[in-house]
Amino acid sequence: MRARTVVALLASAALAAGCSGPEQQPSAPQTTAATGTSSAATPSSSGSGSPAPTTPAPSPMPTDHTFEVVEHEAFDEPWAMVALPGTDLLAITEKGGALKLRGPDGVREVSGTPEVTVTTQGGFGDIIAGPTFETDGTVYLSWVEGSGGSSGAVVAKARLDVDAAALTDITKIWEQTPKIDGGGHYSHRLAIHDDLLYLSSGDRQQFSPAQEFDSNLGKILRLTLDGQPAPGNPFQEDIPVSQQFWTIGHRNPLGIAFDADGRLWSSEMGPKGGDEVNLIKPGLNYGWPEASNGSNYDGSDIPDHAQGDGFEPPKVSWNPSVSPGSLMIYQGDAFPAWRGDAFIGALSGEALIRVDLDGESATLADTWPMGARIREVEQGPDGGIWLLQDGAGGKLLELRGA
Ligand SMILES: [Ca+2]
Ligand SMILES: [Ca+2]
C-alpha cells in the first residue's frame, strides 16, 4: 500500500506550555490542558524552591522540528508495537490476538500466537524484544486470560522467527493475581533494562489493592527474565507476591520506558483529571487511590498530591484528562532536538504529546492534535517516530521530518 501524506503539522517553538496548534474540536480537551496547566500542575521534586536564572542560556542546537504525518497500513484494534533489533520490521499486536510483522515489503501475520481473552480493555497486549533477540529470537508478550467472566493479565517469553513468521516455545512466566470480574485496567506494559523485566500491573478497577501487599494489582514490578522476583527488590515482606513489587500505588500505568541514563518513567491513566507522568523509583508509593490530582468519576474528591503526604507526586499531570495510552523515550537520529524526550500517545485527548525530560525533571512541551485516538508510540527501525491509531482500522502513522 502506498503511503499517503495526510497532515502537515508544525512543531511549536520550545515554549514551556507548547501547544500552538488550533483547537481541534470542542470535545477535545488536550489543547486547553497543554496551554493552561503544564507549569501549575507539574510538581517539582525539589519542593517549592524555583531557580530563577537571570540570563537566558544560549541555545546550541535547534529546539524543535517540523514534520508531516504519513499514513501506512490499517490494523484491527492494534495495541502495541516494537521495532525488532537487527531487522527493518515492526512487530504489531492486535487486541483480538493477532501478531503482525510490518516492513517495507508489507505486512505478514505470525502463526502460533497464544489464545487470548478479549474484554472491554484487554486482549493481546504488549510485545518487546528480549536482550538476546538477535541471536535467538526471544520476545516477551503480555495478554489477558480468563474464564467465566474473571480475567487477568499474563506475561510469557517466546521465540519469534521473523523469516518463518512463526511464534514458538511460548512459556508463561507471570500472572496477575487475583483474577477479577470485569474488563479494565490490566496495564500489562513491559520493559527490559539490565537483563531485568519491568512490568506495569493495573488496579483492575478495584482501587484499594494498589495499597495492599497481598496482590500484584496496582503495582510496577521488577522480575528476572524468567518471571521470578528480582534480587534486591524493595518490598521483601512475608507475603511472597510482594517480593515482585518495585513501586506501589498505581491505577492504570499504560506506559513504562527507560531513559538513556537508566531512569524508569511511566505514564499513568488516572481518574477524572488525574493523568500522570511519574519518575519511578524503587520502594515509593505513588498514591493511588489515596492521592490524585484528579477526582473520581462519580464526582467524589480524592485529595491532591501534597508535600508530606507520604506519596510521590507526578512530574506532569493533566486536568482535563488526555488518557495516556503509551510512552516512548526517544533516542533516534531523525529528530535530534527531541532525543531524550518522552512521547505519549493520548487516547481521549486524540493527540501526540511531547514531554521534555531533563534529568529528573519533566515539562509538558508539545501537544499535537492527531484527529484520532493514539494507542501506541514507538521509535521505528529507522530511528523515526511511529504511532498506532486506536480501534478497528487503526492506522500505522509515521512522523516524517519536513
Ligand atoms: Ca511498544
Ligand atoms: Ca484531587
List the grid coordinates of 213: 501487599
Helix, strand, coil share of the chain (percent; to 5): 5, 45, 50
CA–CA gap between residue 288 and residue 144 (Å, rounded)? 23
List the grid coordinates of 2: 502506498
State yes or no: is 185 an active-site residue: yes
Comparing 148-152, 262-266, 387-391, the range with the smallest average pLDDT is: 148-152
Q: How far is the CA of 207 from the centre of ligand 2 (A)?
A: 15
List the grid coordinates of 83: 521495532
pLDDT band at 60 (very low <50, low <70, confident <90, very high): low
CA–CA gap between residue 375 and residue 350 (Å, rounded)? 9
Mean of pLDDT over the chain: 88
Give the pLDDT confidence score for residue 238 in this predicted structure.
Answer: 86
Q: How far is the CA of 286 from the centre of ligand 1 (A)?
A: 23
Give the pLDDT confidence score for residue 61 in this predicted structure.
Answer: 61
Nearest ligand to the C-alpha atom of residue 83: 1
CA–CA gap between residue 37 and residue 176 (Å, rounded)? 35
Q: Please give all residues whose CB falls under 5 A of ion ligand 2, grouped by chain where several chains appear.
A: 302, 304
List the grid coordinates of 343: 512521547
Q: How far is the CA of 86 from the centre of ligand 1 (A)?
A: 16
| pLDDT, tens digit (0-9, with 9 covering 90-100), for 333-368 | 999 999 999 999 999 999 999 999 999 999 999 999
Average pLDDT over residues 17-25: 33
Q: How far is the CA of 375 from the centre of ligand 1 (A)?
A: 10
Q: How far is the CA of 301 from the centre of ligand 2 (A)?
A: 6
The torsion of the CA quartet 211, 342, 356, 194, rounded to 10 degrees, works out to: 80
Nearest to 325 by CA among 378, 368, 363, 369: 378
Q: Quick one: 91 exposed, middle or buried, by C-beta within 10 A (0-12, 13-18, 19+)?
A: buried
Nearest ligand to the C-alpha atom of residue 189: 1
Where are the strands (E) in 224-271, listed by range? 245-248, 252-258, 264-269
Q: What stretch of H or E contains 134?
A: helix 133-136
Q: How far is the CA of 132 from the centre of ligand 2 (A)?
A: 44
Nearest ligand to the C-alpha atom of residue 305: 2
More confident residue, 78 or 39: 78
Nearest ligand to the C-alpha atom of residue 289: 2
CA–CA gap between residue 92 and residue 330 (Å, rounded)? 19
| pLDDT, tens digit (0-9, with 9 covering 90-100), for 94-135 | 999 999 999 999 999 999 999 999 999 999 999 999 999 999
The catalytically annotated residue of 185, 188, 250, 305 is 185
> CB–CB of 9/368 below 8 Å?
yes
Q: How far is the CA of 126 from the centre of ligand 1 (A)?
A: 7
CA–CA gap between residue 401 and residue 334 (Å, rounded)? 7
Q: How far is the CA of 291 from the centre of ligand 2 (A)?
A: 7
| pLDDT, tens digit (0-9, with 9 covering 90-100), for 120-175 | 999 999 999 999 999 999 999 999 999 888 999 999 999 999 999 999 999 999 99
Nearest ligand to the C-alpha atom of residue 301: 2
